[in-house]
Amino acid sequence: MLEGTGVRIEVLTASGVLSETWDALLAVETMDKAVWEEVIDLELDASQSPGCVDMGPT
C-alpha cells in the first residue's frame, strides 16, 4: 500500500497495551501528573516490545 509513496516506517507500535486494562488505577489517579507520566512511559515501552506489536489490532 505504501510502496512507491516515499513513506518510511520508523517505528512499529501497538496501542492500549497497558492502559486499557488499568481503568481502576487511572480513575483514581487522574489528577496526579507523576502517575500519568509513569503510565505513559510504561505504555510507550510496552507498545514497542516485539510481543505486543505482534498481537495484532485490539
DSSP string, 14-50: -SSTTGGG-HHHHHHSTT-HHHHHHHHHHHHHHHTSH
Please state the domain count of the chain: 1
Spacing of C-alpha 17 from chain mean position: 5
* pLDDT averaged over every residue in the chain: 76
Q: Tell me what the mean pLDDT of segment 27-52 comes to.
A: 79
Inside any domain, residue 12 = no
Q: Tell me what the mean pLDDT of segment 4-32 comes to.
A: 75
Inside any domain, residue 10 = no
User: Do 14 and 53 meet the contact criterion of CB atoms below 8 Å apart?
Assistant: yes
Inside any domain, residue 6 = no
Inside any domain, residue 7 = no
DSSP 8-state class, residue 38: H
What range does the domain containing 35 cover? 19-53
Inside any domain, residue 28 = yes
Task: Indicate whether this model's pTM tops 0.75.
Answer: no
Inside any domain, residue 26 = yes
On the question of pLDDT at 56 being above 70, the answer is no
Give 30's pLDDT tier (boundaries 50, 70, 90): low
